[in-house]
Amino acid sequence: MFNSKSKIFNYFLICFIVGVAGRSFFSIDFFWIYFLALLFLVAIILNWSNKIWRFMLLGGVFVILGIIRYQSCLPSTDQGKIWFYNGQYVKFEGIIIDEPDNRINHTKLIISVKKLLVGDKRSSIVGKALVIVGLYPEYKYGDSILVSCRLESPEPIEGFAYDRYLAKIDIYSQCSYPQVKLINHDNGSWFLNLIFAFKGHLKSMINSNLPEPQASLFSAIILGAKRGVPSELADKFSITGTSHLIAISGLHITLLASILMQLALAGRVRRKKAFWLVSLAILLYIIMIGFPPSAVRAGLMSWLFLFATQIGRKSQSTNSLIFSASIMILINPKILRDDVGFQLSFCAVLGLIYFLPLIEAWLEKIPSVFGIKESLQMSLSAQFTTLPLIIYNFGRLSLVSSIVNLLVLPSLPYLMIIGFGAIFLSLLVPAFAQYLFFPVWILLTYLIKAVEIFALIPLAAISL
């Protein structure tokens, strides 16, 4: 076990992850943390000459480091934090630090609070708050606003740990439909302002040239704007096990990256060159949709899968996967328990690394037609390792998932290629946009009809 540097390094990383995982589920008093750390250090000194015991005990130290790292990310409460005022009516100034999340009848804004107003006195304060406002007037990233509302602590909603969901991005306060006064614009990053403006222009173009629900579905697939997909249609995607098509997740981008790699290789592009071309494509795609954390994480996981296929060695790709997961957990330890996207991304790549070669061997004699075989192989590999998480988190097992994915996944690369082509050409010649989007409408309609038909099958999915 400790016969190589890479195995020792992975062992320490896994011990660190175990420490974070343990602390995320169980509260541990600081006294016991320091006591265990001292105990392990003494034991290491006494057993330094024994290699196995030395490394096993050092692993214990890394477990404790994981516990301490999670402990350090928990919020402290004092008058300088916005969540100190939960349960009170307050006025505060802040800046919208993310793209507004537009829903059917409201908009969610993430505010970085800067000032607290008490009478004529202004005091500096820090923290984030989630503010729910109406659809109009519209606000945008970088707007500075004055909010007057009663702050509340987030709470679980119908079994969903909404409080933990917000806590993973350091939001511990929220308020609904407050009095809002716009102070000024353009207080954010000029680069993100440019990206979000461009993304908004693309959304408007899509909405102008595609009917519903095709427009919202295409925006979800291309731009990650899945909130616009009608809830009834989103539920049908869940029933048929195809929700990964309307979410910027590790499963989505990994499948996309894999398909792009297959297309590049089919076009006789050398593997090394194809690897860098697809890596560049993933980077440009993430930039275009505005660097959402889920897409950044998914892009990294997808790149790891490409790297695995590039080096052709499962052991090295597994090392990279563990290292990358450790870095992300080190940056934000809360994602290990509370970020389903991170969990699905990790497991999807793990499935593609270990199960894809097995499934390729099983289906070796089946001819490849229009990429159907490759799409099925990747889908089965990723679903094999993500299925337990999907059942646990969403309580639903789709019995038609493999069949529906077999039917719809081969259309994904064509939809992406034709869709990006239609967007690019429409920017150049807007007068022909409606005609350019017609093939996109055909593919989207096929995708929707396939999902709707299979969602109607009795026992298409079992609720657990």
Residue 324 and residue 227 in one domain: yes
Q: Which of 157, 188, 219 is the last residue of a domain?
A: 188
Identify the residue with better confidence: 337 or 104: 337
Q: 62-66, 160-164, 252-256: which has the highest mean pLDDT?
A: 62-66
What sign results for the dihedral spanned by CA atoms 202, 236, 292, 315? Answer: negative
Inter-CA distances, 97 with 144, 187, 205, 363, 384, Å: 10, 9, 25, 48, 37
Q: Residue 122 forms beta bridges with which residues?
A: 117
Residue 55 and residue 113 in one domain: no
Based on the number of CB atoms within 10 Å of its own CB, is 97 exposed (0-12), middle (13-18) or buried (19 or more)? middle
Residue 97 and residue 168 in one domain: yes
Q: pLDDT of 395-417, one tens digit each?
A: 777 778 778 877 887 777 778 77
Cβ contact 221:415 at 8 Å: yes
Residue 139 and residue 237 in one domain: no
Give residue 92's pLDDT.
Answer: 92
Residue 231 and residue 372 in one domain: yes
Give residue 259's pLDDT.
Answer: 67
Q: Which of 130, 155, 188 is the last residue of a domain?
A: 188
Residue 270 and residue 405 in one domain: yes
Q: pLDDT of 193-214, one tens digit each?
A: 888 888 888 888 998 999 988 8
Q: pLDDT of 13-69, one tens digit each?
A: 999 999 999 999 888 888 888 888 888 888 888 888 887 888 888 888 899 999 999
Residue 54 and residue 116 in one domain: no
Considering only CA atoms, which of 201, 237, 236, 232 is closest in space to residue 219?
201
Is 464 inside any structural domain?
Answer: no
Instruction: Report pTM.
Output: 0.78
Give residue 446's pLDDT.
Answer: 92
b/e map of 430-439 (b: 16 or more CB within 10 Å)? eeebeebbee
Determine the average pLDDT of the residues in 298-309: 69
Residue 260 and residue 381 in one domain: yes
Q: Which of 34, 50, 72 is the last residue of a domain?
A: 72
Whether pLDDT at 390 is above 90:
no
Give residue 455's pLDDT.
Answer: 87
Whether pLDDT at 10 is above 90:
no
Q: pLDDT of 313-362, one tens digit each?
A: 555 677 777 888 888 899 889 988 888 878 877 887 788 778 877 877 77
Is 77 inside any structural domain?
Answer: no
In this prediction, what percent of the chain has a pLDDT beyond 90? 20
Structural domains in the chain (count): 3
Per-residue confidence at 445, pLDDT binned at 50, 70, 90? very high
Q: What is the domain range of residue 240?
A: 197-458
Q: Bin 180: left if φ > 0, else alpha if -120 < ψ < 50, else beta.
A: beta
Residue 149 and residue 21 in one domain: no
Is 414 inside any structural domain?
Answer: yes
Give residue 287's pLDDT.
Answer: 76
Q: Residue 146 forms beta bridges with which residues?
A: 93, 181
Mean pLDDT of all residues belonging to the chain: 82
